[in-house]
Amino acid sequence: MELPEKWQRAVVPSLPAAGSDVVGEFADTIYGRTPDGGELTELVLRSRDDGVLDGAADRLRHRAVIACPLGDVVLDTLTHRPAGAGAAPVVVVLNFKGNDETIETWPYATAIAAGYAVLTVDYQQIEPDDPAPAAPGVRARFPAETWGAVAAWAWGLSRLLDIAGRIPGVATAGAVALGHSRLGKAALWAGAQDDRFAVTAANGSGCCGAALFRHPAGEDIAAITTKFPHWFVPSFAAYAGHENDLPVDQHQLLASIAPRRVAITSAEADAWADPVGEHLAVTAARPSFPPNAIGYHLRPGTHDLLEEDWRYVLDFAKRG
Beta bridge partners of 59: 49, 80
- What is the distance between the alpha carbons of residues 266 and 264, in angstroms, rounded to a whole number? 7
Max CA separation in the chain (angstroms): 55
Nearest 5°: phi and psi at 201?
Answer: -130, 125
Report yes or no: 214 and 196 within 8 Å, Cβ to Cβ. no
Strand 117-122 to 71-82 pairing: antiparallel
Q: Which of 158, 180, 181, 205 is catalytic?
A: 181
Report yes or no: 167 and 79 within 8 Å, Cβ to Cβ. yes
CA atoms within 13 A on the CB side of 196: 19
Active site residue 180: no
Active site residue 230: no
- What is the distance between the alpha carbons of residues 109 and 107, in angstroms, rounded to a whole number? 5
Q: Would you please indicate which residues are annotated as catalytic (active-site) residues?
A: 181, 303
